Structure 1
Amino acid sequence: MFKISFKFFTLIVLAMFIAACTGTNNKPVIKFSEDSSSIILKNFDATSLLQAKNAYSAGGDSLNLVSVVLLPAETDSLQDQVAINGTYTFAGDSLIFTPYKAFEKNKRYLIESYIDAKFANAGKLFSGTIKQNLQPQKQILKR
């Protein structure tokens, strides 16, 4: 009886440990640079960063792993979202997006990144929150 109870207790502790470890906050960080001339994406996992570097070195401008969109003002119902074009460069463990035209003051920008996006992990499996499609990391920045 004691062996069965001990095995069951060990299994429960192990499952809780795995669920706790998968909930760490290792989401990518998306922010403006110090002078607000570019957007920095960092805190990627090493394999995701390597895959992104390989994709962009193979001419991945059309991959849309990262997109930057100018959002309309909250009171403006006529303006559409406008995609911002620019260059992507890798510096260490960061991806830097520099637009061809400077970011405008008091405007909001939506950044969506599929780099390091996860479809499902043990925490989502246990909680039952798995989605049917891959969800990008989203961040709204205001200059």
Structure 2
Amino acid sequence: MFKSLFKFSAIVAVATFVISCSGTNKKPIIKFSRDSTTIIIKNIDKASLLQLKNAYAINADSIDLISVLVKPGELDRLQDEIEVIGKVNLLGDSLVFKPDLPFKKNKNYLVESFIGVQFANAGKLLSGSIKQNLQPQKQILTR
């Protein structure tokens, strides 16, 4: 009896582990397009994509989905990050940011997005690493 109970609990534990480690837990990918004229966020999960489509359909101009900042270089006099102004479009399952002025070569751009960010999941609850506020996904891109 104990052997069958042990086998059953082992099967349940393995099944739970496999389900929790599925491919849907991937973070969105932030990168430049091939010609470096736009920034693309792809690999957005279905729930976040549905929320994006609903918010975009209501008023595409007022939602702040992504922020792009120019990081200052070591030799720049002003050490402030400057926001890049541009338009955001939702194309299929990707979000595309096109700046009003083209990206400059040899500059670093900090991209911040709250798309697909989770407040807490089971792993964070068990490890005790929950933070009090949402942390955006950050990516530094170099043109």
The corresponding residue for 2:120 is: 120
Give identity over the alignment, percent.
Answer: 55
Pick closer, same or farther for the CA change 1:11–1:128 going to 2, 3 Å. Answer: farther
The corresponding residue for 1:43 is: 43
Task: Choose between structure 1 and 2 for higher RCO, CA contacts under 8 A separated by at least 6 residues.
Answer: 1
Which is worse superposed, 53-62 or 8-17? 8-17
Query: Aligned equivalents of 1:123 and 1:74: distance in 2?
Result: 39
1:76 Cα deviation from its structure 2 partner: 3.3
SS of equivalent residue, structure 2 residue 61: helix
TM (norm. structure 1) is 0.84
Q: How well do the aligned residues superpose, as a CA RMSD in angstroms?
A: 2.3
Pick closer, same or farther for the CA change 1:52–1:97 going to 2, 3 Å. Answer: same
Query: Aligned equivalents of 2:57 and 2:103: distance in 1?
Result: 26
The corresponding residue for 1:33 is: 33
The corresponding residue for 2:87 is: 87
Does 2:109 correspond to 1:102?
A: no
The corresponding residue for 1:111 is: 111
1:74 Cα deviation from its structure 2 partner: 3.1
1:56 Cα deviation from its structure 2 partner: 2.2
Name the aligned partner's letter for residue 47 of structure 1. Answer: A
| 8 Å CA contact retained: 1:23, 1:123 | no
SS of equivalent residue, structure 2 residue 69: strand
TM (norm. structure 2) is 0.84
| 8 Å CA contact retained: 2:24, 2:45 | no
SS of equivalent residue, structure 1 residue 62: coil
Query: Aligned equivalents of 1:92 and 1:12: distance in 2?
Result: 37
SS of equivalent residue, structure 2 residue 141: strand
Structure 1: which 5+ residue stretches go unaligned? Answer: none
Query: Aligned equivalents of 1:65 and 1:140: distance in 2?
Result: 17
1:14 Cα deviation from its structure 2 partner: 5.5
How many residue pairs align between the two structures? 142
The corresponding residue for 2:62 is: 62
| 8 Å CA contact retained: 2:42, 2:93 | yes
The corresponding residue for 1:73 is: 73
